[in-house]
Amino acid sequence: MTSMRESPIRRQPSRRPSWLLPVAIVGGVLVAVVIVILVVRMLGGSEETEAADVAPEPSCSTLMVAPADELPLPKKTKVNVYNATETSGLASKTARDLKKRGFVIKDVANDPAGLPIEGVARIRYGPKGEKRAQLLSYYFPGAELVELERPGTKIDVALGDSFTFIPPQPDIDAALNAKEAVLTGPGCFGGSASPSADADTEEIVIEDAPEE
């Protein structure tokens, strides 16, 4: 008896589409690019956040400034000239000199305060007249600046026993235009100093009086 063997059935292997491999490669590249972009953004964002959290250091710079750049002109300064000495006519003579130099002269008389002044002069002013008083301090070197509780910008110059004459204008101009280093900015711990007044000086009531 003859047996017959069934021949095995051979199946053809399935073929993948030809476009599948390029698509897979492109997809992989895109995924890699997206991952790189996300990582870069995360790292960059953390650096920006750290930079934002660090407050910038306050800066400080140096400027060259002359007193004349900040002080008013003589023609903007009204002055009372008072004589606190025994020298007759000293206030009138000084007032004429100040007028020639551009100041606006108001009262000329004996010092109504009636107090002796051993120094060069006392320059009395209110809070609004501080800059004008500083200007006059260049015309009366060594004068004492005295701030009073008084309105307006008018300045009193009370001449003392040590006063002789106002310096020549070229010398005053040289001092006013001399450049000084001034620190400016939030990081500075100092600055230029201005002539200061005696904070404990009592207010002096000024009344007009004829000069002797």
Residue whose tokens read 């100040």: 98
17: in domain: no
- Tell me the average pLDDT across 22-43: 74
97: in domain: yes
Residue-wise pLDDT for 83-130, tens only, equals: 999 999 999 999 999 999 999 999 999 999 999 999 999 999 999 999
- What is the per-residue pLDDT for 61? 78
Is residue 161 within 8 Å of 116, Cβ to Cβ? Answer: yes
Rounded CA gap, 29 and 26, in Å?
A: 5
Q: Show the CA angle centred on residue 182, arms to residues 122 and 190, nearest 5°.
A: 85
DSSP per-residue string spanning 109-176? EE-TT-----SSEEEEE-GGGHHHHHHHHTTSTTPEEEE-S--SS-EEEEE-TT---PPPHHHHHHHH
51: in domain: no
22: in domain: no
Contacts of 135 (CB under 8 A, 6+ apart): 71, 72, 74, 77
192: in domain: no
83: in domain: yes
The model's confidence at residue 55, banded by pLDDT at 50, 70 and 90, is: low
37: in domain: no
Domain extent for 99? 65-184
The single-letter code of the amino acid at 94 is T
The model's confidence at residue 197, banded by pLDDT at 50, 70 and 90, is: very low
178: in domain: yes
- What is the per-residue pLDDT for 152? 93
Out of 13-17, 80-84, 141-145, least confident range: 13-17
Out of 9-18, 30-39, 141-150, give the one with best mean pLDDT. Answer: 141-150
Rounded CA gap, 186 and 44, in Å?
A: 31
**102 φψ region: left (φ > 0), alpha (ψ -120 to 50), beta (else):** left
Residue-wise pLDDT for 130-163, tens only, equals: 999 999 999 999 999 999 999 999 999 999 999 9
Rounded CA gap, 53 and 42, in Å?
A: 17
How many domains does the chain fold into?
A: 1
Quick one: which of 170, 161, 169 has its CA closest to 143?
Answer: 161
